[in-house]
Structure 1
Amino acid sequence: MTVKSIPEENPSVTGAVINPAMPVSRVASVDVYRGFVMLLMMAEVISLSDISKALPESSFWRIMAFSQSHVEWSWLSLHDMIQPSFTFLVGVVLPYSIMSRRNKGASVRNLLLHTLKRSLILILLGIFLRSMNSEQTNFTFEDTLTQIGLGYTLLVVLALYSQRVQVIALVVVLVGYFLAFALYPLPGPEFDYAAAGVKVGWEHNFNGFAAHWNKNTNFAWAFDNWFMNLFPREREFRFNRGGYSTLSFIPTLGTMILGLLAGNVLNSQVAHARKMKFFIITGFVLIAFGILLHVTGINPVVKRIWTPAWTIFSGGICFLFLAFFFGIIDIADKKKWSFFLMVIGMNSIAAYCIADGGIRNVINESLYIHFGQNFDKGIGAYAPLFTGGLVLFIMWLILYWMYKKKIFIKI
């Protein structure tokens, strides 16, 4: 990980300044899209579920709370789109990153060595953030950074080949992952569901063929029962409470490949209108295909184990998000409103660490230290909105200070 101070003589297309080591031409819409995604993550500090519980008759706050939570198993909420969007954008910017490095004379060997180092840093950073406030190192590989790190080197290798090879790789990844689950035997009548952290007859379980993708009774769960116990642990690993798994990095690579395909188009000389058409059509086709796989029972849409149907379905949504921001920011040139998001998006690693690390908690605790333990009690049900909003604004001010000082953290 490096901290770069960006010289002023290298302006980007957004009117900000960029590092010569960054892509020669930044796409403003990508920074804004990334900023939007990171804002959703940072805004977790505003506990909308607490407001909804305090106002149980309000359908508005119930919907808002749902949007900020993860679904129990199948389908999605807005919050479930944070990880696929962040992952998708890794692929989108890759053609620009490779082009920049190759233009500066980097050989393929140097490129791959840098990629391996980046992958390792992402994995270790993810483990570090997950280990904060733990008694020992929490070796876990299902969070966003480690999932990206596990597949990133393969993504870069694919980026060096033709788009045809990239599409073939996407198909192989998704079909192979599908078959691994489909061929893994379903639990028998003597299966101990309690030992796997699942209630017998859990209402979110699937029946029939789709049961191969049920929580903690699937191929990825079986793999983790072996793999996770290779690392030092306080107690034996038996299941992940949320059903998340290490092997999700494989279909997560599929999401990054979809982003790579989008980045190829974005980085091409094709007219903006044709790019928009491609993003929109591809988005709707992928969404329709993902829904078809789900409703037919061939493969359910489950984010927690990143089913192939989820890769396809969420990838389609990512294409539409990209089309939305590309249309407004880069085609219509409406950028002024997006400055708040731009500040976040241009320093996404810093934003991630602030939101997922201890800084957010330090800020929150400091408010009560300096203003008193009851400073927000008079606001009633809306206290989480007020206090969380203050913490969110302070986090943004940190990123704004870094933006003004031209300090950008990159890996």
Structure 2
Amino acid sequence: MSDDTVKTRLLSLDALRGFVMFWIMSGEHIIHALAKAAPIPVFVWMSSQLNHTEWNGITFYDMIFPIFLFVAGVSMPYSFDKKINSAGVKMPMELPQKEKRKIYLSMLKRTCILIFLGCVVNGLLRFEGYEQTRFASVLGRIGLAWFFAGIIYLNFGIKKQLLWFVGILIGYYLAMKLIPVPNFGAGVFTKEGSLASYVDQLFLPGRLHSIVYDPEGLFSTIPAIATALLGVFLGTFLRIQSNSTNKKLFILVASALVLILIGMLWNYDFPINKRLWTSSFVCYVGGCSILFFTFFYFIIDVLGYHKWAFPLLLIGSNSILIYMASEGLINFKHTAHFVFGGLIEFSPMIWQPVFVTLSVTIVQLILLYFLYKKKWFLKI
């Protein structure tokens, strides 16, 4: 595959986006049902990986959100490429201020829409009152982290972007380590005593997800900017690099392993923790994100095997829509039971939950295929 093809479209990026979204929309339920119906070690292990850790530690399920944010970062250099070329400049920081202002407004609009949609997923339109409304959300964090990563990308060259990345991670670590929290002191990384939890309690409006903290809170969104920046670095590397494919793959794998090692070492002093989005978490999951992307990139964009990934492309092309729908806006289980309920009843009782979850996935994919054929995409 030529570099020109890489610059125009990365099918692997859509496939990776679809892969991580699959587990949220219904994949996790399939594995949990399989682990109960056939409790063999591989299904039991997979099921355990599709639950969040209680606090410190890491599972595959903890990686889904940051990988999605990482993918949003990878897309940024490609989405801004047309504007940069039309302005006759080589680097985003060289764009005229007038053009930048237009981009800022577009980015701000996208961020506000994502924050609003996140609140809708949280039940905003149930009108339960200000104090019962949760304003922090997955979509809101994606919007905010992507926005600020975009500001950095548009105004600084790659060397200063790297300084921002390092500065964010070290600055967050020092703040969490050294700033004392009333009644707890400094350097406490518990649910009740961390600085991130304290900031959420003081400044986050409405209710918190877990009473004393919110996993998508205000302060812990700052290191999420670094996660988006990692994606920006990878997107920039692929877009402008003229190295051979083998050298690109080597650099990607090597950088991933270095980040994972940094995360593992940092874990001894600053635990890997998804809910606090610790700096060690950013590094460790960032390395894993690069490895996941490299796998999809090698299979799909380098070797050209992409037909197998079509269901993932369906999901990835409408990822925000299917996320919102599967989070409760649409009762897919009811539709699946209406269509496949009779067939499911003929199966052995122990396997019926497995077939129910599979039927939900089929209904979701049919909907996504219909939207894909109609070219109806939720673009934000």
Deviation at 1:148, TM superposition (A): 1.4
Matched, 1:221 2:158: no
Aligned equivalents of 2:362, 2:337: Cα separation in 1: 16
Identity %: 32
Deviation at 1:380, TM superposition (A): 2.3
- Three-state SS of the structure 1 residue aligned to 2:219 is helix
Report if aligned partners of 2:28, 2:50 keep a CA contact under 8 Å in 1.
no
Matched, 1:339 2:310: yes
Deviations 1:307-338 (A, max 9, x none): 00000100000111111111111111111211
As a proportion of its length, which structure holds more helix? 2
Structure 2 length-normalised TM: 0.86
Deviation at 1:373, TM superposition (A): 9.6
Q: 1:135 to 1:376 in 2, by over 3 A?
A: farther
Matched, 1:155 2:149: yes
Structure 1 length-normalised TM: 0.80
Deviation at 1:153, TM superposition (A): 2.2
2:270 pairs with 299, 302, 313, which one? 299
Aligned equivalents of 2:371, 2:211: Cα separation in 1: 42
Partner of 1:124: 116
Deviations 1:10-59 (A, max 9, x none): xx969xxxxxxxxx82211111111111111112562543554566x543
Partner of 2:59: 77
Alignment coverage as a number of residue pairs: 363
Q: 1:355 to 1:264 in 2, by over 3 A?
A: same
Aligned equivalents of 1:376, 1:244: Cα separation in 2: 41
What pairs with 1:256-267 in structure 2 (closer than 5 Å)? 256-267=228-239
Q: 1:141 to 1:181 in 2, by over 3 A?
A: farther
Report if aligned partners of 1:132, 1:357 keep a CA contact under 8 Å in 2.
no
Partner of 1:287: 260
Aligned equivalents of 1:244, 1:264: Cα separation in 2: 27
Report if aligned partners of 2:173, 2:279 keep a CA contact under 8 Å in 1.
yes
Partner of 1:321: 292
Q: 1:305 to 1:44 in 2, by over 3 A?
A: farther
- Three-state SS of the structure 2 residue aligned to 1:302 is coil
Q: 1:132 to 1:399 in 2, by over 3 A?
A: farther
Aligned equivalents of 1:397, 1:87: Cα separation in 2: 26
Aligned equivalents of 1:339, 1:186: Cα separation in 2: 50
Partner of 1:172: 167
Partner of 1:21: none
Q: 1:107 to 1:349 in 2, by over 3 A?
A: same
More deviation in 112-121 or 339-348? Answer: 339-348
2:70 pairs with 88, 92, 95, which one? 88
Report if aligned partners of 1:347, 1:409 keep a CA contact under 8 Å in 2.
yes
Aligned equivalents of 1:236, 1:127: Cα separation in 2: 12
Aligned equivalents of 1:274, 1:327: Cα separation in 2: 12
Deviations 1:83-129 (A, max 9, x none): 01100011101001111233455811111110110111111111111
Q: 1:238 to 1:388 in 2, by over 3 A?
A: closer
- Three-state SS of the structure 1 residue aligned to 2:378 is strand
Aligned equivalents of 1:374, 1:390: Cα separation in 2: 10
Deviation at 1:218, TM superposition (A): 0.4
Q: 1:237 to 1:390 in 2, by over 3 A?
A: closer
Partner of 1:354: 325
Partner of 1:203: none
Aligned equivalents of 2:26, 2:320: Cα separation in 1: 16
More deviation in 310-319 or 70-79? Answer: 70-79
Deviation at 1:372, TM superposition (A): 6.0
Aligned equivalents of 1:317, 1:121: Cα separation in 2: 29
What pairs with 1:46-85 in structure 2 (closer than 5 Å)? 46=29, 48-53=31-36, 58-85=40-67
Partner of 2:105: 113
Q: 1:59 to 1:97 in 2, by over 3 A?
A: same
- Three-state SS of the structure 1 residue aligned to 2:377 is strand
Q: Which amino acid aligns with 1:34?
A: R
Structure 1's unaligned 5+ residue stretches are 1-11, 15-23, 192-207
Aligned equivalents of 1:186, 1:140: Cα separation in 2: 24
Partner of 1:5: none
What pairs with 1:244-259 in structure 2 (closer than 5 Å)? 245-259=217-231
Aligned equivalents of 1:323, 1:331: Cα separation in 2: 10
Q: 1:104 to 1:395 in 2, by over 3 A?
A: farther
Partner of 2:352: 383
- Three-state SS of the structure 1 residue aligned to 2:254 is helix
Q: 1:44 to 1:131 in 2, by over 3 A?
A: farther
Aligned equivalents of 2:270, 2:28: Cα separation in 1: 34
Aligned equivalents of 1:93, 1:123: Cα separation in 2: 19
Aligned equivalents of 2:195, 2:290: Cα separation in 1: 29
Q: 1:369 to 1:28 in 2, by over 3 A?
A: closer
Q: 1:257 to 1:81 in 2, by over 3 A?
A: same
Report if aligned partners of 1:51, 1:381 keep a CA contact under 8 Å in 2.
no
- Three-state SS of the structure 1 residue aligned to 2:240 is coil
Aligned equivalents of 2:340, 2:312: Cα separation in 1: 29
Q: Which amino acid aligns with 1:153?
A: F
RMSD between superposed Cα atoms in Å: 2.9
Deviation at 1:251, TM superposition (A): 0.7
Deviation at 1:134, TM superposition (A): 4.8
